[in-house]
Amino acid sequence: MIRGRNKIDLKRVLIIMGIYFLIISLLSIRLYILQIHPSSKVSGEMNNYQSENLSQMKYRIFDTNGKDMMDYNKKYIVILDTKPFMLNNYEETLEDLMALNFIMKSEDKNFNYSEIMKDDGKIYYTVSEETYNKVNKLKNIKGIYTYTYDEVDTKEAWKTSNFLANINEDTVIENSLEENLYAYLKENSYPQAKFYLDDKATYGDGEVTLEENNNIKLTVNEEWEDK
C-alpha cells in the first residue's frame, strides 16, 4: 500500500516538474522570437531619458509652522518602456523576466509580454507598495523603471488647504483672492524625476529636479484646524 502511494506521489512530482519546465521553455522561445529581430531597429529609436511628474500639485500649502497642510495618497507606479524592453536578452535576463511576469500577474491577470511587445511607447501600471518593492529588486531588466506619485486627497473639503488646492485659470474669478494666487503660482513647475538609460538600455534611479516654486504659507496652525 505504501509502495503504491509512493508511486502516485512520484508521478505527481514528475508531472508538476514537467509543467514547470514546459512553461520556462515556452517563455524562453517567445521572448527570443519577440526580442531578437527588432533589436537593431529599436536601439536607434530610443530616447536616452524619460521624465515623470511626481506630484499632482505645482505648489505646497504650509501652515504657520512650515508644515505641509495637504494630505496625499501615494501612488506606486511601474513603467515598461517598450522600445528598450524589446532589447532584453532572454539568456541574460530570463530569471528576472519570469519573476516580473509572476509579480505583475498578481496585480493584473492580463499582464502579457506578447501584448506589451505590440505596444509603442510607455505602459503605466499602478501597483501596491509590496509589488513596487518587489519590482525594484529586479535590476537586470531593460526598459523598466518605477516612481511614486503624490495624488491630492481632498475628501475633507472643509479644510483651508483643500479649498486652495485647485487654483487654475478656468475656475478663478476676476479680482478675487484666487486670481491673485493664480498669478503668483502660474509659473511653477511640477516636481519631476528624470530616468536615464545606460549603455545597456537599463534605466537608473530617477534624478529628482525641484524648481524654486512659489508656495502658499498660511497663518493657520494645522494642529488647531484638525481639532
As given in the structure block, the three cell numbers for residue 18 are 514537467
pLDDT of res. 29: 58
Indicate the pTM of the whole model.
0.74
Which amino acid belongs to residue 24?
I
- Structural domains of the chain, ranges and CATH numbers in brackets: 47-225 (3.90.1310)
Spell out the residues 6+ positions from residue 99 whose beta carbon is closer than 8 angstroms to its own: 134, 138
Q: Is 82 helix (H, G, I), strand (E, B) or coil?
A: helix
Element (H, E) at 193: strand 192-196
Query: pLDDT in tens for each of the 227 residues of the chain?
Result: 545 555 556 777 677 776 666 666 656 555 555 444 444 444 445 568 899 999 999 999 898 888 888 889 999 999 999 989 988 887 778 889 999 999 999 998 888 888 888 888 899 999 999 999 999 999 889 999 999 999 988 776 567 777 788 787 777 788 788 888 889 998 999 999 999 998 888 898 888 887 789 998 888 776 665 55
Q: What is the maximum span of the chain, computed from C-alpha positions, in angstroms?
A: 91
pLDDT of res. 131: 96
pLDDT of res. 138: 93
Element (H, E) at 23: helix 2-36
pLDDT tens-digit readout, 136-179: 999 889 999 999 999 988 776 567 777 788 787 777 788 788 88
pLDDT of res. 162: 73
Element (H, E) at 188: none
